[in-house]
């Protein structure tokens, strides 16, 4: 498994793809707009105006979720939950140090980014924990934040199955991140 990660050709291909992905996407979006005769800049500005209006409407929901997250971390509930779930993470090969990222990510992007930054500073960016934490950050979603902000902005009071579907997606993202990281960086 570790032979793949140490192969210089694989490393070169991964670096090339990661360096070209975003410029390629930006170019593809502008090119698609040009081909379809869309005024890309004007549409972008209109979208930015709508985004500002939405931002003003969601501020109360955003403040509520950020206060709840702060209370969750400050109360010690995060540490308690990590200790409770550590035996399960050991079964799937996930270091307990990375578990707070998986637990915080559905609640807050900035909170989980802070945890990822702390793990990278402690263990290093090229450590398995640093790479896994980064992959977890990109493989999961800020489910409760998204539900609070987007549902709040359009006035949806009952999300029905949205929470279950979002958390299921997060769980699959965590399992996939651990699996892929074990293969590529293991």
Q: How far apart are CA 83 and CA 96, in angstroms?
A: 8
Residue 109: CB partners within 8 Å, gap ≥ 6?
142, 145
Give 19: exposed, middle or buried? Use CB within 10 Å, 0-12, 13-18, 19+: exposed
pLDDT of the residue at 107: 84
Classify the phi-psi angles of 39: left when phi > 0, otherwise alpha if psi is within -120 to 50, otherwise beta: beta
Q: Can you give the pTM of this predicted structure?
A: 0.65
Q: What pLDDT is attached to residue 25? A: 92
Q: Look at residue 105 in the predicted model and tell me its pLDDT.
A: 92
Q: Which two tokens stand for residue 116?
A: 């990822």
Question: How many other CB atoms are found less than 10 A from the CB of residue 151?
Answer: 16
Mind listing the pLDDT tens digit of every residue in the chain (186 residues)?
Answer: 455 556 788 888 888 988 999 999 999 999 999 999 999 889 989 988 988 887 787 777 777 777 877 787 789 887 888 888 889 898 999 998 899 899 889 988 888 888 899 899 999 999 999 999 999 999 999 998 888 777 877 777 777 888 899 999 999 999 999 999 999 887
Please report where in the chains the tokens 């699959």 appear, as a residue: 172
End-to-end C-alpha distance for the chain, whole angstroms? 7
- The encoded tokens of residue 27 equal 């170019």
pLDDT of residue 20: 92
């Amino acid at each position: 498994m570790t032979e793949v990660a140490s192969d210089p050709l694989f490393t070169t291909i991964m670096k090339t793809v990661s360096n070209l992905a975003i410029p390629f996407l930006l170019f593809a979006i502008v090119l698609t707009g040009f081909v379809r005769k869309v005024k890309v800049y004007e549409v972008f500005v209109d979208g930015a105006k709508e985004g500002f209006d939405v931002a003003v409407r969601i501020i109360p929901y955003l403040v509520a979720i950020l206060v709840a997250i702060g209370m969750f971390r400050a109360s010690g509930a995060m540490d308690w939950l990590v200790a409770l779930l550590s035996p399960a993470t050991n079964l799937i090969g996930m270091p307990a140090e990375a578990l707070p990222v998986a637990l915080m990510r559905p609640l807050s992007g900035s909170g989980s980014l802070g945890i990822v930054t702390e793990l990278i500073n402690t263990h290093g960016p090229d450590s398995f924990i640093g790479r896994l934490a980064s992959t977890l950050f990109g493989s999961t979603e800020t489910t409760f934040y998204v539900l609070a902000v987007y549902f709040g902005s359009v006035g949806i009071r009952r999300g029905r199955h949205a929470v279950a579907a979002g958390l299921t997606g997060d769980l699959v993202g965590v399992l996939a991140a651990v699996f892929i990281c074990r293969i590529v960086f293991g």
